Structure 1
């Protein structure tokens, strides 16, 4: 925001001075900020995320000299990256103060070296720095949808909180967003084209039980569990949804027996004894068992789903028999950069672009961006939760898999070079549709409902609330 934007047309507004902006910044006292180049020295508007930079401090306060602040070289600027900062560039800085996002725009004045007598009292003690002058006020971005949690180290204003991370897989679908008119409120009969085959697993019950137990044995003891869900007809909406019954330990892993055709599991954590409850289990009920295990080939985490039938419900355990569907996650694994309640940012590597665009990769960059923005992309999130006794209270109640249909809202493109065409480097996706109806025949969600502007995906809302509480707790412990 430039100084001229601090005036409202037709109204008398007191102009804020550069000194007042710097005083406010000193009060906020940020240690790091995420840096995005938004305008070049020639006035060209761009959007290049340079990642995190440290703000220099003198003692325990922000270092101010010559009405300017000073930052380290942002993490995203490396010799081989082709990125650089020049005089006159406008940087958009974002940082947190009291867990609330704040932003400001600054002009790059120069790259400087500190005198030795100044350097001795600076933190970090690095001789080189970029000198920046604010060109607008510090703005508070307290809307929940604007709070982005960093997932990849060095790529956001916040630190990475390892208590809540994700494995993310994307898949193409048969739905494209209309270029004219409004979006449909619902999508029916959604078809998914996976990146790999999902159905190359054994089908014989004996082989299925053996495969499942062998893969679970490779997990740490606390992860030798399945997540149990049950298709349930909601009488109010006349829709089939998945009732989440929670995690259940698989028994008999240490002493497998030849010829086993059933699985013995502990009663799920959220199973109900009320026969009218959707979380109740009875004989002949169909259940969906989800679990994770490391691949024996490349040691990457793989995710599986098994459709099973309840054979017997005992006092403490449940016996289930595999049915006809046993599949693994078929989407392409991608690297998540950051996330919010309304969307995500992912790295766009060659594998992802080849998968989404195919032969269209040969088209000009503008044509590629247009195609990407029309695609409805299935996002399968697998939360990885790691809490201890002190933080367990902040554990979000989320399923093994969170499914959302996304839309590419923006794309970041590499800088143009004489010998190379620009390429898409990152994609920002907005959450557009939630699953609403489960197919008992296909054993998957095939009907989706649009996420309205005033609504949010309930699982990411739960994660957002949990992270806010966790951050507040951790900050209170460090004081």
Structure 2
């Protein structure tokens, strides 16, 4: 009878804070993209802080009483940054097993760690932030977060052979140059002018060489992608306007000429389609099938419109034929905000810029994180018959500047190896040089702004997946 008066023991069920921290430990998560979604006054904002690291002991996160701790990104200015530790709400985004997750937290306060405690923690950053999880770790099921696989065996929806991307990588200094933009660090010995082009002394030689290039391709690849240079006088900027695919005509002719004849792209046959006039500057993008190199080699050629007919467009050379600079890399998967690259000894050496490559994959990843890359994506599409409506409307090349933010270590060998490299997109082209037609300036991609071409790819491929899953 006395049992009914006995005080029931307190519940031993862990709170949501403890569950969230346990799940982070189970995932082995040690960093995340931190975004402020609410300021101390409770007003909704969307300000990306950057890649932040969690304080951790060798085997688990450092936590106390349902709180864990976050170190600000390298170079983050505590005095002027929006993250002050006064009650902001942040969203932490990260991936586990190629699946995106998020965790909302309240920033309780800014803390200073004692030297004696820091000796047992990583990172050894003196000032950090105390976080309280709001709810549990949540899987992001939004289709916009899908990562499309391009290599067999990689998790994620496969969209090949309908859509693939060839990728070239060049190193970039994200600290910028005197003009305030990222500085491209040229690959030693990488010459964009092919040797056989250097041997051309007259326009007729260039046209003959170009015809030979195109004739070496299979019949279905004997075409170019036509783009037009456009100058906005009001804003003082130059842009590249994609037009469409165009067959190269007159390949069987033996007479030497200074003209290239192109079939008028179907995009120009509509009432509201783009138009070309005599004197317009155009860019011809084309790929050469190089079996010896194991990959296509992408080229571009700046020309000027000589005549724009009803069915045929005639152009003349304005510059030299150039090949894409940089190192060809294998793309494992991609999303609207980043890409996964397959690592290789050649890529490691290239990224280390001549320095000794560490044997320890963790040390190598630590050295590579924060490295800037200019990635040039070349779409390859194959949408026939009823699938044609799902073909994404994208230009022949998509240049994006990204930053290495993560990597995957393969533990199958004795010491393991860095198997893949994760790159987050950071900058989009903002303006092109009217003389060289190369990207002249870049603009940052913010939390609410994504690369428009990868948004279009995601839109189209999501529709393709929905159609194929019927």
Range of TM-score over shorter length: 0.5 to 0.7
The aligned counterpart of 1:412 is 408
Indicate conservation of the 8 Å contact 1:153/1:160, yes or no.
no
Which consecutive residues of structure 2, in runs of 5 or more, have no partner in the other structure?
1-11, 20-25, 30-56, 62-94, 103-135
Matched, 1:258 2:255: yes
The aligned counterpart of 2:329 is 334
Q: Choose the corresponding residue for 1:386, options 382, 386, 399.
A: 382
Q: Residues 195, 457 of structure 1: CA spacing in aligned structure 2 closer, same or farther, 3 A cutoff?
A: farther
Q: Report deviation, 1:443.
A: 2.2
The aligned counterpart of 1:85 is none
Q: Choose the corresponding residue for 1:8, options 16, 36, 49.
A: 16
In structure 2, what is the Cα distance between the partners aligned to 1:194 and 1:383? 26
The aligned counterpart of 1:270 is 267
What secondary structure is seen at the aligned counterpart in 2 of 1:222?
helix
Q: Choose the corresponding residue for 2:276, options 263, 276, 281.
A: 281
The aligned counterpart of 1:219 is 217
What secondary structure is seen at the aligned counterpart in 2 of 1:257?
coil
Q: Choose the corresponding residue for 1:431, options 422, 425, 430.
A: 425
Q: Residues 319, 157 of structure 1: CA spacing in aligned structure 2 closer, same or farther, 3 A cutoff?
A: closer
The aligned counterpart of 1:291 is 286
Q: Residues 166, 93 of structure 1: CA spacing in aligned structure 2 closer, same or farther, 3 A cutoff?
A: closer
Matched, 1:398 2:394: yes
In structure 2, what is the Cα distance between the partners aligned to 1:240 and 1:5? 62
In structure 1, what is the Cα distance between the partners aligned to 2:436 and 2:427? 19
Greater shift after overlay, 359-368 or 317-326?
359-368
What secondary structure is seen at the aligned counterpart in 1 of 2:165?
strand
What secondary structure is seen at the aligned counterpart in 1 of 2:320?
strand
Q: Report deviation, 1:405.
A: 0.4
Q: Residues 6, 142 of structure 1: CA spacing in aligned structure 2 closer, same or farther, 3 A cutoff?
A: farther
Q: Report deviation, 1:169.
A: 0.9
Q: Report deviation, 1:43.
A: 8.2
Q: Residues 268, 290 of structure 1: CA spacing in aligned structure 2 closer, same or farther, 3 A cutoff?
A: same
The aligned counterpart of 2:126 is none
Q: Residues 272, 231 of structure 1: CA spacing in aligned structure 2 closer, same or farther, 3 A cutoff?
A: farther
The aligned counterpart of 1:460 is 454
- The alignment yields a C-alpha RMSD, in angstroms, of 3.7
The aligned counterpart of 1:356 is 351
Q: Report deviation, 1:361.
A: 2.8
Matched, 1:442 2:436: yes
Q: Report deviation, 1:242.
A: 0.5
Q: Report deviation, 1:415.
A: 3.9
Which consecutive residues of structure 1, in runs of 5 or more, have no partner in the other structure?
14-35, 47-90, 96-100, 104-136
Indicate conservation of the 8 Å contact 1:190/1:446, yes or no.
no
Q: How high is the TM-score relative to the length of structure 1? A: 0.66
Indicate conservation of the 8 Å contact 2:258/2:317, yes or no.
yes
The aligned counterpart of 1:168 is 167
The aligned counterpart of 2:85 is none
Q: Residues 417, 467 of structure 1: CA spacing in aligned structure 2 closer, same or farther, 3 A cutoff?
A: closer
Greater shift after overlay, 446-455 or 233-242?
233-242
Alignment of 1:21-36 (within 5 A): none
| Residue-by-residue CA offset, 1:246-286 (whole Å, 9 max, x unaligned) | 11111012x13232221011223334899xx9943222221
Q: Residues 43, 6 of structure 1: CA spacing in aligned structure 2 closer, same or farther, 3 A cutoff?
A: farther
In structure 2, what is the Cα distance between the partners aligned to 1:172 and 1:431? 14
| Residue-by-residue CA offset, 1:282-308 (whole Å, 9 max, x unaligned) | 222211111112126445311110011
| Residue-by-residue CA offset, 1:100-142 (whole Å, 9 max, x unaligned) | x899xxxxxxxxxxxxxxxxxxxxxxxxxxxxxxxxx995422
User: How many residues are aligned here?
Assistant: 357
Indicate conservation of the 8 Å contact 2:171/2:184, yes or no.
no
| Residue-by-residue CA offset, 1:6-26 (whole Å, 9 max, x unaligned) | 84359xx9xxxxxxxxxxxxx
Q: Residues 431, 186 of structure 1: CA spacing in aligned structure 2 closer, same or farther, 3 A cutoff?
A: farther
Matched, 1:474 2:468: yes
In structure 2, what is the Cα distance between the partners aligned to 1:466 and 1:376? 28
Q: How high is the TM-score relative to the length of structure 2? A: 0.67
Alignment of 1:36-55 (within 5 A): 38=28, 44=59
Q: Choose the corresponding residue for 1:248, options 217, 237, 246.
A: 246
What secondary structure is seen at the aligned counterpart in 2 of 1:187?
coil
